Amino acid sequence: MLFNSYEFVFLFFPLTLVGYYIVNKIAVSFQNGIYCDAIRNGFLLAVSMLFYGWLHPEYLPVLVAGMAVNYVLFRQMEQRERKRHYLAAGLLFHLGCLACFKYIGTGSFVPLGISFFTFTQVAFLMESYRGNLKEVSALSYGAYVSFFPKIMQGPIALPEEILPQLTGKVKQTDWERVYRNLYLFTLGLFKKVLIADTLGKAVDFGYTNIAALNSGDALIVMLSYTLQLYFDFSGYCDMAMGVAGMLGFELPLNFNAPYKASNIIEFWKGWHITLTRFFTRYLYIPLGGNRKGRGRTYVNYLIVFLVSGVWHGAGWQFIVWGMMHGILYVLTKMWMDAKQERTKTDRKHTLENEIRTGSNVRYAGRKAVHALKVLLTFLYVNATWIFFRAPSLKEAFGLFRTIFSFQFGKINWNLAGCFNLDEFWYVIKVLKLDGWQYGQYLLMILILTAVLLLVFFGRNAVDFVKKVKPDAVHVVFLAVLFVWSILSFSGVSSFLYVNF
């Protein structure tokens, strides 16, 4: 089931929300007994299985089998001393299944969200091996792995983030919390169905007609995908956090203004944060982290990005994408390490120089340099996303050749038409601008400009809703966005990351 569907918005989630609060009321009578958690977690497990199997019930056996194997291994590690053997068996099983479904098979049967719930189970197994998990019931474990807001596309929540929320005292209904999280859900829905899906039309047209594009067209296609991927994925995470929040649960933040980063290291601190954390905890640190010298540290970074590329897909284009990020990450880290050493030795000279320099000039210069760094980082990330989106290296290099041919001209008429939303095109007709020779391009310019301004100057949706008041202005704004998004469901599409 998709968040951006009528059955979720008007059927599944309202019934789930009401049902969960009723279950909570019933559970209160067992507040001091073992049945309290079982009732709530049993309900969550049931609705999560319904959510996951709604469109593809054939994927349920894969999820259930993986959960059963993992829980048995967990119980064995609790009761026996030879934990390493059970850990190895679990990792081999889960990663083997992931490889079989994503890389070895024909690709015709790939359970939705398999990477995300596999990583969730690997995290549970690793924390069990480290002795950080004890006496986790089967229902709590099942609810943790299958929790429906995050199962399809993350964020990748660690056991210590979710399991404590599945046990203990029942949270009372907080209507202000419900309101803020409904607001967050609506913002995510708007980002997906009205921004990401609009940009996606231009991206799909561009990648199926590369030979017909000029350099300007190719740049628009490249930029559109960069923006589409961000608003699609972050929109999903906003919706997931909103849905979980209305139920009284907190999910970890997965995006924090990544395109405002001034270097690639900052970018990865804001992009897919929970995946970076997962690889850091369960790959980078076990490889030695930064404990075995600077050279080994750089190699470990490259290994992490190589694995990240392979995880995203089996094609060579994903490996190129991963290594482009990895190489620049290492070069940036090397430069920052060298700069840190120079700063230690030249600190006195630097302070004397800053005293002689005017503070206003210094501030303006730093702002300009920072803006340039942000722009260059953004352009580099744009270029790497070409490999991420292209069906193969051939198409990726084809788009690069088109960009660097520097053959600019009039923007492709059909490409510009992808941005012509009906509700805005009607206004253009009323203003009699549709007959203007450049009228077709007006919405493209306005939408791309507005989205770029939102990316570079807008606030994070999660931070925004924390200060939202239930006043008339915000309620009306919420209602308009919600209704507008719902009316756009006629062009429902899946989320980009749901098949990773």
Q: Report DSSP state, residue 107.
A: S
pLDDT greater at residue 338 or residue 252: 252
27: in domain: yes
Looking at residue 221, its pLDDT comes to 96
The mean pLDDT of 33-51, rounded to a whole number, is 87
pLDDT reading at 416 higher than 70: yes
Distance CA 347, CA 495 (A): 49
Residues found in the chain: 500
Q: How far apart are CA 272 and CA 254, in angstroms?
A: 5
Q: In whole angstroms, what is the distance from residue 472 CA to residue 478 CA?
A: 10
pLDDT, tens digit (0-9, with 9 covering 90-100), for 82-133: 788 999 999 999 999 988 888 776 557 888 888 899 999 999 999 999 989 8
Question: Which of 317, 314, 306 has the alpha carbon at shortest distance from 400?
Answer: 317
- What is the mean predicted confidence (pLDDT) over 44-53? 95
Q: Is the pLDDT of residue 205 over 80?
A: yes
Query: What Å distances lie between residue 205 and 114, 388, 418, 441, CA to CA?
Result: 29, 16, 8, 16
Mean pLDDT of all residues in 132-156: 92
Summarize pLDDT for 435-479 with one digit per residue, the tens. Answer: 666 767 888 999 999 999 999 999 999 999 988 888 889 899 999
347 occurs within a structural domain: no
In a domain, 423, yes or no: no
Q: What are 386's two structure tokens? A: 């070409």
Overall average pLDDT of the 291-306 stretch: 93
Distance set, CA 360 to CA 36, 331, 371 (Å): 62, 32, 17
| Helix ranges, 404-471 (H) | 413-417, 422-430, 439-457, 461-466
Query: Is 312 annotated in the active site?
Result: yes
Written as six digits, the tokens of 172 are 């009372």
Question: For the residues 156-180, what does the mean pLDDT come to?
Answer: 85
Q: Is residue 53 domain-resident?
A: yes
Query: What pLDDT score does 443 carry?
Result: 86
295 has a pLDDT exceeding 80? yes
pLDDT at 433 over 70: no
Q: For 338-378, what is each residue's pLDDT tens digit?
A: 888 777 666 555 545 554 555 666 677 788 899 999 999 99
In a domain, 79, yes or no: yes
Q: How far is CA 427 from CA 416, 434, 451, 483, in A?
A: 17, 9, 19, 19
pLDDT at 425: 65
Q: Tell me, yes or no, whether 152 lies in a domain.
A: yes
Query: How far apart, in Å, are the Cα atoms of 13 and each of 92, 318, 336, 349, 385?
Result: 36, 35, 47, 62, 34
Portion of the chain with pLDDT greater than 90, in percent: 62
Are 440 and 429 within 8 A, CB to CB?
Answer: no
pLDDT(43) > 60: yes
> CB-based contacts of 500: which residues, under 8 Å, 6+ apart?
115, 116, 311, 312, 313
Domain extent, residue 77, equals: 6-173
Provide the number of structural domains found in the chain. Answer: 1
Please report the pLDDT score of residue 24 as a whole number: 83
Cβ neighbors of 182 (< 8 A, separation 6 or more) are 242, 246, 478
Sign (positive or negative) of CA dihedral 307, 313, 319, 322: negative
pLDDT of residue 469: 86
Q: Which of 94, 272, 312, 325 is catalytic?
A: 312
Strand blocks (E) in 104-222: none
Q: Is pLDDT at 176 greater than 70 in this prediction?
A: yes
Q: How many CB atoms lie within 10 A of CB 258?
A: 20
Is the pLDDT at 31 greater than 70? The verdict is no
Residue 169: pLDDT band (50, 70, 90) is low
Contact 402, 216 (CB under 8 A): no
| Side-chain half-sphere CA neighbours of 102 within 13 A | 21
Greatest alpha-carbon pair distance for the chain in Å reads 78
pLDDT value, residue 187: 96
Task: Provide the pLDDT confidence category of residue 334 given band limits of 50, 70 and 90.
Answer: very high
Amino acid letter, 457? F
Q: Give the span between the Cα atoms of 373 and 377, in whole angstroms.
A: 6
| Cis omega (within 30 of 0) for bond into 155 | yes
Do the domain assignments include residue 373?
A: no
Average pLDDT, the chain: 88
**Is pLDDT of 69 > 60?**
yes
In sequence order, which ranges of 260-409 are alpha helices (DSSP H)?
A: 264-270, 273-279, 294-312, 316-356, 359-389, 393-403
Helix (H, G, I), strand (E, B) or coil at 147: coil
pLDDT for 298 beyond 70:
yes
Question: What whole-number distance in Å separates Cα of residue 187 and Cα of residue 195?
Answer: 11
* Winning range, highest mean pLDDT, from 75-84, 110-119, 254-263: 254-263
